[in-house]
Amino acid sequence: MTDPSSAHQAPPGCPAHTAAVRLAGLEYQQTPAQMYRALRREHGAVAPVLLDGDIPAWLVLGYSEVTYVTSHDELFARDSRRWNQWENIPADWPLLPYVGYQPSVLFTEGDEHRRRAGVITEALEGVDQFELARNCQLIADRLIAAFAGSGQAELMTGYAHALPMRAVVQMCGMPTSGEDTQRLVEDLRISLDAAEGDDPVAAYGRVGERLRQLVKDKRENPGPDVTSRMLLHPAGLTDEEIVQDLISVIAAAQQPTANWICNTLRLLLTDERFAVNVSGGRLSVGEALNEALWLDTPTQNFIGRWAVRDTQLGGRQIRAGDCLVLGLAAANTDPQIWPDAHVGAENAAHLSFSNGEHRCPYPAPLLADVMARTAVETLLERLPDLVLSVEPETLTWRPSIWMRGLTALPVRFTPVVQ
């Protein structure tokens, strides 16, 4: 992202009447909090921005403003077909997989959204949290065993990413290993957070193909899994509706949870409050998990909401059809709620799981907490002298304005004889 102090003049049709800032370039991906502070100083709680290809949108930075947008679906709705910029969107636009309208729960509204979200909620409620914790511990043990004897590991790819991936696909009735599963997870990564040379549109298509086969298999042979419960639900969703909703469930569970695990481990290994005190029991893993959600929330920004009619927000004139990007990370550190710059990590009023009717459906946040907590606690128990193998300031974040996660977390420890 470019320096907000050298903002670009908004192109014709941009919702802003002042200069807009490009959410691209990513010079500030390492310290997004500085970027959000600069945007607040220049634009207030709602900033005019340019998405890929200089497509205009609004970035909602304020806690109160994000809460208002997500609580007023009659003003800021989820059906992206309202967008007033579609004529300017190319077929290969990088954000198309998550902005282009799909028959998914993400884009439904009103009674239809409640019907679809209800099916997901009841399917997830069928997950036994104690069984999930046991499965996650078994997965953690196997992953740790693979590197425990070496005395060193890269935890992002070898542990934090792999554990929720295996847990989520198992919940959905897929094998936890195998080439198909690995390809599915890689395609989800590409569609969520594409690197240079990736094709997110093609990757999203491959995800849909793999899940269509899963739904077909479970239609013929249902089991004790989320996919089967969705198929058997009396709401009678079509196979394609279930495919689209499974994409939402898996995408929302896998990479954000992986980043949550890794961001928490980084905090534990680099912040002296935790590095000194976790083993002594004065600061718990739970507190570290919660603080990571406040300060390094896995989903920094979420696209989005679309204005149903002309309205105002944060002193800005919002036109019907304008796109609003929810600045979840910025809202969590809003100085209006934390005026002394100290985030109260002991409470859980963060917006990391969004807010309102379209927030992560219950009990998804609880299941994510089970996966993340089990991953962190098991690792610390198995490798109690775990330390970073590089200087903390050399750790780098993925170059993304959407997701917040490290590129790598290298560690060392006393080798464990198997």
Q: What is the predicted pLDDT for the residue at 98?
A: 79
Domain boundaries, the chain: 4-412
**Beta-strand pair 76-77/301-307:** antiparallel
pTM of the complete model: 0.89
Q: Can you read off the two tokens belonging to residue 176?
A: 């936890």
Contacts with 416 (C-beta within 8 Å, 6 or more apart), sequence order: 148, 149, 382, 383
Directed axis angle between helix 179-192 and helix 200-220, to 10°? 140
Q: What is the predicted pLDDT for the residue at 216?
A: 96
Q: Residue 185 CB: number of other CB atoms within 10 A?
A: 22
Mean pLDDT by 10 residues, the chain (418 residues): 39 53 69 87 95 95 97 97 97 88 92 96 97 96 96 95 91 83 78 72 88 95 97 96 92 91 95 67 80 93 96 97 97 88 77 92 94 96 93 90 93 89
Q: What is the predicted pLDDT for the residue at 18?
A: 52
Q: What is the predicted pLDDT for the residue at 393?
A: 92
215, 246 in Cβ contact below 8 A? yes
Q: What is the predicted pLDDT for the residue at 76?
A: 98
Distance between CA atoms of residues 184 and 165, nearest Å: 10
Residue environment code for 66-84, b if the CB has 16+ CB neighbours within 10 A, otherwise e: bbbbbeebebbbbbbebbb
21, 35 in Cβ contact below 8 A? no
Q: Which CATH number describes the domain made up of 4-412?
A: 1.10.630.10
